[in-house]
Structure formats: structure tokens, C-alpha cells
A and B are shown apart, each in its own frame.
Chain A
Amino acid sequence: MSDIFDIYLLEAVLNGLLLGGLLALLSLGLNLVFGVIDVVWICYAELIMCGMYCVYYLHVQYHWPLILAMLAAIGVVAFLGYILHQFVIRPVLSAEPINQLLVTGGVLFFLQAAATLLFGIEFRNLGVSLPAVHFGEMSFSAPRLIAFGTALGGVVGLYLLLTKTYVGTAIRAISQDRTIMPLMGVDPARIFAITSALGGAFAGLAACLLVLQYDVHPAIGLSFGPITFLICVLGGLGNLVGGFIAAFIFAQFIAVGGFFFALEWGYVIAFIFFIAAMFWRPRGILSK
């Protein structure tokens, strides 16, 4: 009896690890934008929703090959990120910091409602089913394995971009000191626009992975938006490594908590852990 119990628990832990990869990828774009521009995109999950609809419509309605639809979605959401920055964030960059958070909340309302208006409230399924992968007596869903791999790839890619390229160096420099860098010939407006597009591209990438696992509907942002913010805060807003670690901590709470109780209780435990952790490390788990 106890053997069977353990292998299911191990399966939950490993599934939690895979979920962690997905959550890490979700938090990557948001964290990057915050680290550089100092703005929390409350509508981040709604950008992901747009990406999911994009993949769905291109693949199911217009019969594009899945890979092509996904690449297009990444491009579209990157463009949305750019638009969001130029037309919504830029005008309030010098306003009170909390206004910058609130203005993207207005965008959240808009995107969610516009999606309802355009696409209706039906749950839409991509209709692509990938086989489960069996390993011994445990089984894992293929989309989650793909998501995990992509998340690791995304993190490495972002790391290389930030450390090896000129633009990446400029992004890091701006995030360290916004007032000095313009004197060194870096144009902050351009770097902010590039970062926003990059953040959008990561949202698009997350959308491609999510649409393989979940049905898309206009309110889907509300179901994984909060957890994405909390991961970023737990890791320390703008701290990419911290966010990565926090994603795996959260995922374990959800997976193992969901294993012992119902899935929602896993979330409750994770959120309560988050609140407690904030009191212990108000600036994120990696802060000094």
C-alpha cells in the first residue's frame, strides 16, 4: 500500500516540477518589463489570452500549420506589448507609480470585454491532443514536458540576450540607472519599447504553451493572472532568478497541496504561503 502511495506522491512532485517550468515562463516577461521599466502589467495574463485566441483562430479557422500559427501569435503579442507601452504606459511614466499599475488594469477590462464581444464566452479548444508520456508507473502530459523544456530554453535565451548582445547590455544598464544611461548615449525610450516588445513576445510564447493544455475563453486571464503576479513578487519584482525559483516553490505547493486535498486548496495554501513569505522577506526571497 505504502509503495503505491509514494509513487503517486512522487508523480505529484514531478508534475509540480513541470508546472513550475510553465509558471516560470509565465512570469518571465512580466518580470523583465518590471525590472527595466518599473511597471507592473496587470493585464499581462490578458495579453496571453490574446495570444491563445490568435493561435486558435489561425490554426482552427484558417488552417495554418500549428507552428506557423504559434510564431504568428508570438509576433502579434510582441506587437501588442509594444503598442501597450507606446500608447498607455508612456503617457503615465512620470505620474505616480501606482497610476502605472492602474492604467494597465483598465487595459485588462478592455481586453477581457473586447474578447467577449468578438469571440463570445464559449470555451474554445485547439483540438490538438498530444499523448501522455509514461515513465514507469507514472504518467506526464506531453504539453507540460514541452512547456518545461521551452521554459528552460526561454530562460537561457533571455540570459544570453541580456549578457551577450549590445541591446541586452543596454537593457541591463537602463534597469540599473535610468538617469545616467541617457548621458552614455543609450536612448531609454527605444530600450523601453524593445523591452516591452520582448515582454510581449514572452507572453506570446506562454500563450502557445497554454493553448496546448487549456481551453481559451475571455476570463482565462483571471485564472492564472494572480498567480503570475504573486510569483514575480515572491521572487522580488524584477529579479529574474528569484522569479524562476519562486515559480517552482509555488508549483510544488499547488501540486502537492492538490494531491493531498482538492486542487483549490493547493492554491489556497500557496497563496497563504505567499502572504507569510512577504512578511518574512518583503522584497522577495532572494533579498538580503
Chain B
Amino acid sequence: MIGNYPVHLAILVLLWGYIYTSWSLMGRLGLVSFGHGAFMGIGAYTVVMLWNYYGVSPWLGALAALALSAAVAVVIGYPCFRFRIVGHYFALVTLALSEVARLIITASRDVTGGSLGVTPVTALNEGTTIALGALQFSPKLIWLAIVALFWLGGLWVWRMVDRSMGRLALQAIAEEEEAAASIGIHVTRAKLRITIISALMTCVGGILYAQYQLYVNPDTVSGLAISLQMVFGVIAGGMFVMLGPTVGAAFTLLLAEGLRLAFGNKYPALDTTIYGVMLVLFIIYMPKGILGAVLDFFKRNSGRRP
């Protein structure tokens, strides 16, 4: 029997690895979004609210959450891409989106519990440890399997996107938007497609997070802080290789846990302090992230040998 703690860590690494992978689908093609907190929040809160108030099974709730995420992605994405809002402006418009999500959840405190957060009504008791309809499981190994499955699915989507014509189109757009348009690439459509995929996947991440933790809070699933966490996790790991976002998730989590084990809770923010310094150094000296730099290193070494 494996202890619960390593399993818990593995679940978190794979879950965040999956969410970071979803973000990178856009990020690596020049669409740096600070708005993914909104999609995670929509996923987590739609499902929990429908379950708590109307007893709607999370399986159906997930459909509603996905529909809502897609709608938001289109409402924000379409005008952004149509009116050529790129770079800093895109980052800051999406930043407004994730703050809107956080503020709406916090402000509707009569329904959502505000910043105190909310717990899904439990379907588990001493007899039942698995409630399939309520998507609540107490054995952690089940969660490990579920999260691993979604993580692999995320990597599969990455691969599919990589092999498609759409990726070439998006890469061309990221290089030079006008030139891409002039050779017949439908810029708005290409960007919108990848945005919807990325938003839907992030929304699923939010749902899984809520159902696994059985607690959600506007600050842990939406808002600027969580959106920044996604962006920087990806940068630390490496945005341009398939496993980079997962490496980023593992790195940040293990750094935090390692320091916590070494120092206890004496220095509460030590991990983020070190993490912040490392991020700055990464972006300046290692813009391809940990995994990108490691791969480059091996490529150089193998190139030297005849």
C-alpha cells in the first residue's frame, strides 16, 4: 500500500501538469493569456453550484460548465482576434477577464459563499467511498488514475495540434500576423479554434480540482493570482516542449513541499520567494525553461560527437 502523501503529490503534479499543458497550447503560439483563471473558476463553480442547489450530477454540470466556458472564450476571443488585440494588450484584456470571474464569484456571496469558499455537498459516508454519480471518490488511487488519464489526454491534444496544419498557421501568425493573413490564413478563425480548445481543457481542470479537493474558493480557482501561477509554472518548465508544462508543475510543487519539509512552517513564504527569484533568472538566462534547457544541452553534446 502506497502512503497517501506521495499519491496526493502525484495527483497534484499531474492535475496541474494537465492545466499548464492546456494553457501552453495557446501560450507557446504567442497568445499569452492571463485569463485562464476564469475558465478554471467557471468549471469549478458551475459544477459545484449545480450540484449543491439543484442536485445536478457533476457529469451533467460539466456539460453546462464546458458550454459556458466555450461561450466566454468566444465572446472575449472573437473581438480580441478580430480587432488584432495582441501582445501586452491581449495579456491585459484577459487579465480583466480573470478578475471579473473572481469578483463575480466573491460578490455573489449569498449563493457562492464569497471568499470563504464552498464545499460540495458530500455523497460519501462510511459505507460509500465511491459515488460515481456525484463524481466523489475517497480512494486517492482512483483520483490518480483519473488525473493521469486526463493528463495523457492533454498530451495527446498537444500532439494532435502539433501535427495539424493549424499549428503551422498559428506559428506563422505568431511570427507576423499581416504576412500570415496575406497568404490566405484566416487569422481570427485559427486563433479562436485553439483558444476554445485551451479554454475547454482548463475548464475540465477546474472541475477535477474542485471534485478532488472537495473545496473551492474564488482565490484558488480564479483571479489574477491563479492565472499568473499557470503562466509562470509553464515558463519554469518550458513552454515549447510537450512535457515542459508538467515539468514546471512538478518543479514548483516539489520546491514548495521540499522547503516545507526542510524548514517546517517557520518560513511560510520561503518557497515563493525563491521561486520568484528563479523565475526572473529563468526568463533572463533560460527562456526555454528547465526542460527546454536540458534538451538543448543534450542536443549540443550529441552534436559534438561525430
**A interface residues (Cβ-Cβ under 8 A, vs B):** 40, 88, 91-92, 95-99, 101-103, 105-114, 116-117, 121, 218, 222, 225-226, 229-230, 233, 237, 262, 264-265, 267-268, 271-272, 274-275, 278-279, 282-283
Closest A-chain residue to B115, C-beta based? A264
A110 is contacted by which of B92, B224, B277 (Cβ under 8 Å)? B277
> Given A88-B284, A109-B279, A110-B276, A226–B104 Cβ distance below 8 Å?
no
A97 is contacted by which of B83, B87, B276 (Cβ under 8 Å)? B87
A150 to B225, CA, bound (A): 31
Q: Is the CB of A282 within 8 A of B83?
A: yes
Q: How far is the CB of A202 from chain B (nearest CB, A)?
A: 19
Contact sample, A vs B, 12 pairs, CB 8 Å cutoff: A98-B30, A103-B279, A105-B228, A105-B232, A106-B232, A106-B276, A106-B282, A110-B272, A113-B273, A114-B269, A226-B224, A233-B89
Give the number of chain B interface residues (Cβ < 8 Å): 47
B84 in the interface, Cβ–Cβ < 8 Å?
yes
> Given A117-B267, A275-B97, A110–B91 Cβ distance below 8 Å?
no
Q: Which residues of B contact A105 (CB under 8 A)?
A: 228, 231-232, 279
Closest B-chain residue to A233, C-beta based? B92
> Given A40-B92, A106-B276, A106-B280, A271–B269 Cβ distance below 8 Å?
no
Q: Which residues of A contact B278 (CB under 8 A)?
A: 106
Q: Is the CB of A117 within 8 A of B276?
A: no
Contacting A at CB under 8 A, from B71-104, are 76, 79-80, 83-85, 87-89, 91-93, 95-97, 99-100, 103-104
> Given A103-B280, A116-B269, A271-B100, A222–B88 Cβ distance below 8 Å?
no
A7 to B116, CA, bound (A): 35
A101 to B94, CA, bound (A): 14
Q: Which residues of B contact A283 (CB under 8 A)?
A: 89
B268 is contacted by which of A99, A101, A117, A230 (Cβ under 8 Å)? A117
A113 to B96, CA, bound (A): 23
Closest A-chain residue to B229, C-beta based? A109
Q: Which residues of A contact B62 (CB under 8 A)?
A: none
> Given A97-B87, A237-B89, A102–B231 Cβ distance below 8 Å?
yes
A199 to B38, CA, bound (A): 31
> Given A88-B280, A109-B279, A282-B84, A101–B91 Cβ distance below 8 Å?
yes
Q: Which residues of B contact A102 (CB under 8 A)?
A: 32, 231-232, 235, 283
A99 to B239, CA, bound (A): 12
Q: Is the CB of B280 within 8 A of A97?
A: no
B21 in the interface, Cβ–Cβ < 8 Å?
no
B280 is contacted by which of A107, A121, A218, A275 (Cβ under 8 Å)? A107
A40 is contacted by which of B79, B84, B88, B106 (Cβ under 8 Å)? B88
Q: How far is the CB of B11 from chain A (nearest CB, A)?
A: 24
A106 to B289, CA, bound (A): 14
B117 in the interface, Cβ–Cβ < 8 Å?
no
B95 is contacted by which of A91, A229, A267 (Cβ under 8 Å)? A229
A114 is contacted by which of B106, B231, B273 (Cβ under 8 Å)? B273
Closest A-chain residue to B27, C-beta based? A98
Q: Which residues of A contact B224 (CB under 8 A)?
A: 222, 225-226
B88 is contacted by which of A107, A111, A237, A265 (Cβ under 8 Å)? A237
Q: Is the CB of A117 within 8 A of B273?
A: yes
A114 to B277, CA, bound (A): 10
Q: How far is the CB of A100 from chain B (nearest CB, A)?
A: 9
Q: Which residues of B contact A275 (CB under 8 A)?
A: 76, 93, 96-97, 100
Closest A-chain residue to B98, C-beta based? A226
Q: Which residues of B contact A116 (CB under 8 A)?
A: 268-269, 272
Q: Mark B230-246, 1 if CB is under 8 A from A, else 0.
A: 01100100000000000
Q: Is the CB of B88 within 8 A of A108?
A: no
Q: Is the CB of A282 within 8 A of B100?
A: no
Most buried by A among B97, B276, B282: B276
